[in-house]
Structure 1
Amino acid sequence: MRTHSGSGRRTALSLLLALVVPLLAACGAGPSTDAEPDTARADTAATAAPPSGTRLRPYVDASLAPSPLPAMADATGVADAVLGFVLAGPTGCTPTWGGIEPVTAPAVVAAARDLTGRGGTVAVATGGASGTYLESTCPDAASLARAYGEALDAVGSTDLVVDVEEDVPVATVVEALRTVQEERGATVTLTLKVDDADRGLTGPAVDLVRASDRAGVDAHVDAMVMNFPYTGSWADAMTDATDTVLAQLGEIRPGADEAAVAARAGVTFMLGRTDLGATTTLDDATALVRAARDRGLGTVGFWSVGRDNGGCPDRPTASFDCSGIAQSPFAFTLAARDAAAASPEEGPR
């Protein structure tokens, strides 16, 4: 998933600091070598009660100024969002937006409060496609849990998303997540990479889910159905990847029925032009979201609200601030909202 700098984007902050962040970070190919967490803890994966309905949670680049979130809520009524990405600051294990701004940055806090004031919710996402991860910088699980808590408290959230697109110390991350969940009652989501439609989640992603389950972390799993090789229809490839991930989660969590597995899973797509050449059209997005709804997935999201406009039609590469295709403002948010709300019997809207 793209992080704040994208394809040469310059926010007011980045112009001031002349900072450029790399575009993508490669995920490790093999399983983690970290020590496993305590396997004696009860596995909660098979017994957690599933939520009802499919919830739309679009991602937003929290460093954008001004934030597009109030305008999104005005235009679409959608008041839920995931704020990304919290990274380690220059001094080490200190949570910051994009590695630069403090998590208490007034503009970010104001945008979050605007949504919660409308009855929505905001989640805080760490990690992302580039930058220095808190997960790799904090020296132990206790300090990582404190950093997570500081980021959540800054915007008044209890909803933590850990977006893992590079190698992380699995045992440390899992123990920190368990602490945050036990001490704060936080909701935890693992947003993870997909190899392709046939293989689903990467090997390290599967390892992290298994380790979390063994440690008793009640984790929602969100698959990034973006930036992978495919043939044929892109909508079909994203949907096939979704089905592969659901099958993987069913194998990882054999004590839960299919509905419970799906309810604790989600997908996130990249709207418009993606980093590796595919273009997600409005029809593609609608098909994917309807498939997620039909399968009973708990959440669906996209990267990102700041790109949900037609400001750069026909641009051949992905951009941080527009979709690269002709569209009206917030067209993807509206399409995803309607597709997520439609019942399977209704057919396309």
Structure 2
Amino acid sequence: MSKLTTGRRLSWIRVLIVAVVLGALLVGGLYFWNIKKDTARAADSGEWYGSYVDATSTPFYPFADEVGKNERVVLAFVVADPKNPCSISWGGYYTPETANETFDLDRKVARVHERGGEIVISAGGLNNDELATACTDEEKIVAGYEGLLERYDSTTLDLDVEGNDLEDAVASKRRASAVAALQEKASAAGKPLEVWVTLPVDTRGLTESGLGEVDRLLDGGVGLAGVNLMTMNFGETRKADQSMAGAAEQAARSTHQQLIELYRKHGQEVGERTMWAKIGLTPMIGQNDLLGEVFTLKDAAELKGFATANGIGRISIWSANRDMDCGPNAADIERVSNNCSGTPQESREFARLLSTDMAEVSATKKPVVSPEPAPMETAIVDDPAKSPYPVWNSQAAYPKAERIVWRGNVYEAKWWTQAEAPDLPASDAGSAPWSLIGPVLPGDKPEPVATVPAGLYPAWSAKNVYEKGDLILFEKQLFEAKWWNQAQSPEAAIQGAGDSAWMRLSNSQVNDIVSKNKKASS
């Protein structure tokens, strides 16, 4: 007779099934937890839009006029001064000081901040040397960028590495070390520095040189906010029937996988969504450098959809200067222009299309600050002792290009005007007689009146006959005859009369003339 058991043993098959089920639940849970964490990290990155502005291209672009709240302006390009390789210059032409004197860069930047925008400093570019390429003194590289970021109140540095800079591995390591040191100093000062690297791509992704640049930046300890892709000039890697947007999307997908593998090599596991948030897209709007490659508004709409669907961290365009129709006077729109896109469009249409929702999303990522009580409205009284130009006077007449100060801002006359307040409301910007340049800056002082050495030019006389180009002095100011005249007082020119026979010379013109006379006599 058999003995009855009080319990039942599980077979090894049942144990195995239970283990498999529990393992699947654990793996599935970890998978979805990782996806959730990856999505959260991507959401915290803060997407943004910012047009590149070719700061030194003429006519100088009024980038402060229409920048939106939370938009960024990517100012290009800061490069090494050709005459002093460890010093900063704009485009190799202007020091920060002469950039302000020549095209009001400081004042335009201040205007961007007033409008709620941000400034990104873009360094490098195709045509000049980035600072770390030309300068071998790391401390001076750090100091150069640090001073520039402070001057323009910027917390974002965009390293545009292309051309010769991209092929110089020694300079690349120096750049990485300097930027890492710069980030460390910025963090210690409580003002973290966001760093992007902008690199050329084709539909296969980053080139070997581009991957090398990212590799060295990561190896050097740089905390990269992201890699911005120049989705332009694809050449033979773009299929004949492929749109420019399609080529850009293919380039982005290729780069996405490259970067995941590269970050993994550096011991950093970055999720799919987080990596998309570390990628930026910068198309060249309209006609690209290569004939037959035209990025249209349709391409922009398609690329914006792709960016939104994948959570792209940044969108830019090259460039704001070109975001307009070329008009009927363009001789050949198939040749790239610095001042228009070469494709039918409204002014700033690419920027409006691509920036939609980007600034709003970016704004939601910022810390919420308790609102402060609204300040009491007070009258702004201009202090002539601190104004770089005369304070506006309703009784005075102002000729074209004359500058004045009014209620804390600098304005420039578009044409002869009198008794029209600079901040008087106008139906549109085109009908206003004054252009707003930007605020009076801390440290501004009245511009000294240029003087002419005694006896250098004769005083005006009603009896004399003057030929075109003759120079005379009148009320301690230098005037040039516009045509033959006699007994026509320069007083009319002071009052801004357009039909005056005399043109009052500006301070810079007077200084140039005096300088040339000194050289001629020495």
TM range (shorter): 0.7 to 0.9
Query: 1:15 is matched with which residue?
Result: none
Quote the Cα distance in structure 2 between the aligned partners of 1:284 and 1:136: 35
- The number of aligned residues is 293
Q: What are the Cα deviations for residues 246-289 of structure 1, in whole angstroms up to 9, with x where unaligned? A: 11111112301111111122111100101012100011012112
Query: 1:180 is matched with which residue?
Result: 182
Quote the Cα distance in structure 2 between the aligned partners of 1:328 and 1:66: 20
Is 1:79–1:116's contact at 8 Å kept on the other side of the alignment?
no
Quote the Cα distance in structure 1 between the aligned partners of 2:309 and 2:46: 10
Partner SS for 1:160: strand
| 1:1-349 to 2 correspondences below 5 Å | 49-50=41-42, 51-64=44-57, 65-73=59-67, 79-89=71-81, 90-104=83-97, 105-106=99-100, 107-166=104-163, 167-168=167-168, 169-184=171-186, 185-194=192-201, 196-197=202-203, 199-219=204-224, 220-229=226-235, 230-231=238-239, 232-254=242-264, 255-277=269-291, 278-312=293-327, 315-338=333-356, 340=358
Deviation at 1:52? 4.2
Is 1:87–1:97's contact at 8 Å kept on the other side of the alignment?
yes
CA change 1:217–1:175 in 2 (3 A) is same
Q: What are the Cα deviations for residues 22-50 of structure 1, in whole angstroms up to 9, with x where unaligned? A: xxxxxxxxxxxxxxxxxxxxxxxx9x954
Quote the Cα distance in structure 1 between the aligned partners of 2:133 and 2:356: 39
Residue 263 of structure 1 aligns to which amino acid in structure 2? A
Please list every run of 5 or more consecutive structure 2 residues that lacks an aligned counterpart in the other structure: 1-37, 187-191, 362-522
Quote the Cα distance in structure 1 between the aligned partners of 2:337 and 2:350: 16
Deviation at 1:103? 2.1
Is 1:67–1:111's contact at 8 Å kept on the other side of the alignment?
no
Quote the Cα distance in structure 1 between the aligned partners of 2:46 and 2:158: 19
Please list every run of 5 or more consecutive structure 1 residues that lacks an aligned counterpart in the other structure: 1-45, 344-349
Q: Could you list the runs of 4 or more consecutive aligned residues of structure 1 that deviate by over 3 angstroms after TM superposition? A: 48-53, 76-79, 339-343
Give the TM-score normalised by the residue count of structure 1. Answer: 0.79
Deviation at 1:59? 0.4
Q: What are the Cα deviations for residues 138-166 of structure 1, in whole angstroms up to 9, with x where unaligned? A: 11322221221122222111211110002
Quote the Cα distance in structure 1 between the aligned partners of 2:113 and 2:41: 25
Quote the Cα distance in structure 2 between the aligned partners of 1:253 and 1:155: 32
Q: What are the Cα deviations for residues 35-87 of structure 1, in whole angstroms up to 9, with x where unaligned? A: xxxxxxxxxxx9x95434531111001124543312332xx667311000011
Q: What are the Cα deviations for residues 205-247 of structure 1, in whole angstroms up to 9, with x where unaligned? A: 1111112222221112111111122112221111111111111
Is 1:309–1:323's contact at 8 Å kept on the other side of the alignment?
yes
CA change 1:178–1:78 in 2 (3 A) is closer
Residue 348 of structure 2 aligns to which amino acid in structure 1? F
Quote the Cα distance in structure 1 between the aligned partners of 2:54 and 2:278: 24
Is 2:177–2:221's contact at 8 Å kept on the other side of the alignment?
no
Quote the Cα distance in structure 1 between the aligned partners of 2:70 and 2:285: 17
Quote the Cα distance in structure 2 between the aligned partners of 1:211 and 1:49: 24
Deviation at 1:335? 0.8
Query: What is the percentage of aligned positions where both structures have the same residue?
Result: 30
Is 1:112–1:122's contact at 8 Å kept on the other side of the alignment?
yes
Residue 222 of structure 1 aligns to which amino acid in structure 2? N
Partner SS for 1:58: strand
Quote the Cα distance in structure 1 between the aligned partners of 2:183 and 2:358: 28
Quote the Cα distance in structure 1 between the aligned partners of 2:148 and 2:360: 34
Quote the Cα distance in structure 2 between the aligned partners of 1:115 and 1:162: 21
Residue 123 of structure 1 aligns to which amino acid in structure 2? V
Is 2:70–2:118's contact at 8 Å kept on the other side of the alignment?
no
Quote the Cα distance in structure 2 between the aligned partners of 1:121 and 1:341: 11
CA change 1:200–1:62 in 2 (3 A) is same
Quote the Cα distance in structure 2 between the aligned partners of 1:305 and 1:78: 17
Quote the Cα distance in structure 2 between the aligned partners of 1:339 and 1:315: 31
Partner SS for 1:253: helix
CA change 1:253–1:325 in 2 (3 A) is same
CA change 1:78–1:316 in 2 (3 A) is farther
Residue 86 of structure 2 aligns to which amino acid in structure 1? C
Deviation at 1:311? 2.6
Quote the Cα distance in structure 1 between the aligned partners of 2:152 and 2:299: 33
Residue 52 of structure 2 aligns to which amino acid in structure 1? Y
